């Protein structure tokens, strides 16, 4: 096992990695921007190093500073968390060039499958179904030609990233002309790469993702699925597992995910995302070559620690479990608590948290980096906590989550908790009748 690692991220995921490492006896160095100097990960780390000012390009995306921080501190490996440089193949390669282990897939795997456009080609080679789509689109004329070939509606996506950034649904040529350059600029700002591709847009699918894990030596397992259909502006709002799909369909999707990961000899944690239509057809969408925001759902229903598993595999110790040892136990729901005002179009609500009380009790887990007196910086994502509820059944998990949210107190800023309570109380949600247009269709009033 590593003696010391650098955590190249911020917020709740930095704290999550710190805790996993500490339980394994691994020392932690947290790299932070000036805006995060009083964050909980920085305060709890064995060591912390400032890597630049608040803007992400000057700190969390500054490869030179991150590598220097790792080398100066004597870290042996770098954990990138999610977002920022987590799916950057060049950064992973530079870590290796400097004698540092990148806690994640090999650089070549990130290049092959992390690029959303090339991932589709690999899926075809591996025999995994995909929606009709394009390769990389160099310019608007190329996008227009593809649209003419396949027909609308279509969805523009950033080749180099996820999280809803760089994504636009287009229904006609006017939409395409208006949205192409907007999506390019958003992709450039978020991932440093403006490249886009397009897929046929499915009108009312479920968004199902399979958690996979590989040892890099040919062994790959899946840890079942998460239903991430409830989204707002292509960003996930609520995730749960297992899904309400038929067991046979769930098994086929999982088998496809494992087949694809084995095809590229995948190492570490990854997520294969699929769209499932109402007839039971499923289509590979993309693979995220990192730990996911919603990984606690999988941890709760499989009783595993995926972050510790990342450390073990990266250190060459192999996986701690086999497929035959994994099973689904109960049901888990995760809600993302954002510092946003749901009554005013989810406007960001930066400021000082004057008081906070997180819920507890049986089956409740809270992943958060904030505390009373913490100032939320306006420079980054508005996520301040994830609340996860586990129970023996979906119905009990919903009831437990409602109870937990009603116990939660966050003062000083607006949060999305009132919105989540509305989702939980929605009759369509309660019976599992959810699709990616759930918020627009079922919660517009």
Q: Burial level of 138, CB count in 10 A (0-12/13-18/19+)? A: exposed
What's the CA gap between 444 and 375, in Å, rounded?
32
In the residue annotation, 106 being an active-site residue is answered as no
225 beta partners: 210
Among the listed residues 106, 165, 226, 290, the single catalytic one is: 290
Q: Is 218 left (phi over 0), alpha (psi -120 to 50) or beta?
A: left
Per the CB < 8 A criterion, the answer to whether 91 and 80 are in contact is: yes
Q: Is 199 helix (H, G, I), strand (E, B) or coil?
A: strand
- Pick from 327, 328, 370: nearest CA to 349: 370
Q: Around Cβ 179, how many Cβ atoms within 10 Å? A: 19
Evaluated on CA atoms 212, 215, 216, 218, the torsion sign reads negative
As to burial, measured by CB atoms within 10 angstroms (0-12 exposed, 13-18 middle, 19+ buried), residue 127 is: exposed
Using CB atoms within 10 Å of the CB of residue 426, give its burial: 0 to 12 exposed, 13 to 18 middle, 19+ buried: middle
Please give the backbone phi and psi of residue 130, each rounded to the nearest 5 degrees, phi first.
-130, 160
Alpha helices in 208-328 (DSSP H): 247-263, 295-302, 306-314
Q: Counting beta carbons within 10 angstroms of the beta carbon of residue 213, is it exposed (0 to 12), middle (13 to 18) or buried (19 or more)? A: buried
329 vs 65: CA distance, rounded Å: 43
C-alpha span between 165 and 235 (Å, rounded): 8
* Residues 122, 295: Cα–Cα separation, whole Å: 24
Residue 154 CA, distance from chain mean position: 23
CA 95 to chain centre: 22
Residues noted as catalytic? 290
């Amino acid at each position: 096992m590593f003696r010391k690692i650098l955590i190249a991220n911020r917020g709740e995921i930095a704290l999550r990695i710190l805790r996993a490492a500490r339980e394994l006896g691994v020392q932690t160095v947290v790299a932070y921007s000036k805006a995060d100097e009083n964050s909980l990960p920085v305060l709890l780390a064995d060591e912390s190093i400032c890597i630049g000012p608040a803007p992400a390009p000057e700190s969390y995306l500054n490869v030179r500073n991150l590598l220097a921080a790792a080398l100066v501190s004597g870290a042996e490996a770098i954990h990138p968390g999610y977002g920022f440089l987590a799916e950057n193949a060049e950064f992973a390669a530079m870590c290796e060039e400097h004698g540092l282990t990148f806690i994640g897939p090999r650089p070549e795997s990130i290049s092959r499958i992390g690029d959303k456009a090339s991932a589709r080609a690999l899926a075809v080679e591996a025999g995994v179904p995909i929606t009709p789509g394009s390769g990389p689109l160099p310019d608007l004329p190329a996008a227009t030609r593809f649209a003419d070939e396949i027909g609308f509606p279509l969805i523009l996506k950033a080749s180099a990233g996820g999280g809803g950034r760089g994504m636009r649904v287009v229904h006609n040529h006017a939409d395409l002309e208006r949205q192409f350059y907007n999506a390019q600029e958003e992709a450039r700002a978020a991932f440093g790469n403006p490249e886009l591709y397009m897929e046929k847009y499915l009108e009312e699918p479920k968004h199902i993702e399979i958690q996979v894990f590989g040892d890099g030596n040919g062994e790959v397992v899946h840890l079942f699925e998460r239903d991430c259909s409830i989204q707002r502006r292509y960003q996930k709002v609520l995730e749960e597992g297992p899904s309400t799909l038929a067991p046979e369909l769930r098994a086929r999707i999982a088998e496809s995910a494992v087949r694809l990961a084995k095809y590229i000899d995948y190492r570490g944690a990854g997520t294969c995302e699929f769209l499932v239509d109402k007839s039971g057809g499923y289509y590979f969408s993309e693979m995220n070559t990192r730990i996911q925001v919603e990984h606690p759902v999988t941890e709760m229903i499989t009783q595993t620690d995926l972050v510790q598993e990342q450390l073990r595999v990266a250190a060459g110790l192999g996986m701690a479990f086999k497929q035959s040892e994994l099973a689904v136990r109960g049901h888990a729901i995760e809600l993302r608590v954002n510092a946003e005002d749901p009554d005013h179009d989810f406007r960001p609500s930066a400021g000082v948290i004057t008081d906070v009380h997180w819920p507890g009790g049986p089956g409740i887990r809270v992943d958060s980096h904030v505390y009373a007196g913490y100032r939320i910086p306006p420079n980054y994502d508005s996520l301040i906590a994830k609340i996860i509820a586990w129970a023996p059944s979906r119905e009990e998990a919903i009831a437990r989550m409602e109870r937990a949210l009603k116990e939660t107190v966050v003062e000083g800023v607006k949060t999305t908790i009132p919105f989540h309570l509305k989702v939980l109380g929605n009759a369509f949600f309660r019976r599992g009748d959810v699709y990616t247009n759930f918020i627009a269709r079922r919660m517009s009033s």
